[in-house]
A and B are shown apart, each in its own frame.
Chain A
């Protein structure tokens, strides 16, 4: 913290003790592309900033592992802009808004311009003359942003998951958490808080996904915020059998076949093939020689499977693939945010995959292109808004009276039970959300049973789940974090099933076996929230989106 402008927090609470007490204008929870950009925007607007990241800021999160091509739309080329926006509208099922899309891409363009000015070397074209904007490399782009954060004097807390928010008069006022590397407990008092904790794939095993346990949804709802579009979450990627790498680029040049050798199309075709025939096979037979070289250079992670495990030539030989849940990391549901990345809680802002991206991509998947542009743009907005909020209302951030908002997994309402197995709780959630046969196309009766079971898991977690008091130091910290992750995943699954039961139709990533077609009477947002009692309500679609839906 040599380069820090953060001061020690002067008066620790009497009841709660912390090893590290900091005060900041803006606290950002999560250090992927969205959190990093929130930090940069806040610091550039003059705020004192702390970013608390569960893993290591630079390697943590879905983007750092996968690398992404962020869509971008040049502001001065009407043709390019119109093409990109309009191509997206028909697959958004009526929820996307042209103005919102344009605003996201304008901001993302500016962010990428800044990255380029700061020295980020976007990949270049073959002739070496031209930057390919949007190319945010795996392992490199977020680390680059880390260096910018350091230069902007931002305090970075690595390995420091935030486990609960602090509230002051109903406004977000900071957070507490543990450092799971050192076993130290920390508290940051702040004038405003940004959630950038990513989506969740329920620890399905996708590369880079284990830290994404939906913590932000729980933090937000505990503070009183609400979620939108959680039913748009049935997003699966394809991986070689047993592999973690769900990068999709190769499957556009592949032939996919079911167990009987029938050729199937990607998406619905492959999932039905896997569910009904039990197996799915792939051959990358549509590449020419140059294409083979390029795809291997461009997708090094994908091809490790054939270098390290299955020693075949995937361009000429068939291999088995399977579906794996990518969940809200690549879908569109999440914390509802409005202009300036505001939530419904004062002083609480949210950015990136943890938010609803319905206004950008509607009921469909956000993929990497739109999602990364959204991370950059919404991160900037959240950081900027949080700074303005903190400046106006956060002067007494260090001294105001706060309450601790944590519930299940952290502050059990009854006696903590040592026999409550946190791994069994997580496995209990995973049984309901990971299998493609269960979660891709959903049945009302099955979902009702899932929800009932999950309500029971929540009651257990709420009443009796906490860190393992038999452990010490970092081991204890890790057990607290794991308990809280279990609570967050149980909660996320409940909000998903409650929303999916409410939406009695099939639209985009919400596929109902019992309601297989679009029903225009269902054309409204499903909003959800609540902890012990999960609630859902309807919200009309904005008139902007409505017009576009009619036009398209």
Chain B
């Protein structure tokens, strides 16, 4: 009786040992990466919270010395004319709504440019399906990092645009996850770029007045 129990115990121990030995990969937990804010999104949040607290002098200093303004200048050719000047004037005048509008346009433009570039890069016929899906997924992540900061402001101004972008984003994410149809990725990406372009045009003062 004792002999049988010993055999059973030894067999169980051997089975567990074998199982643990055969699947060591699962045990190699090497940490989890949590994406951080980049310098532009960090600066955006600093400015936004300063404005919300009514500290416009602080917000202006953060804008004047921060990377958001530097990036805005670097992309000036692709942004609506007078965006930086308008934003600074709003910060000086303590106009929170106008600051929000300027920042929303800027981040919408960042997301739009990324969507356009993603459309261009995923159209490369030399890319494999896997590479195309991987590139698409990376661009979508970058687009969302910027767009989600202003989605609420976009929805308040134009809820249809917000819905169009969200639906297109969901669709594109689905295509990027499936390597079966990465070529379909370009259609929702184009829709995102078009919707954001229309939103930017509709939100610029010159167009609004016309």
On whether the two chains bind one another, the answer is: no
Partner-B contacts on A (CB < 8 A):
none
Chain B: residues with CB nearer than 8 A to chain A? none
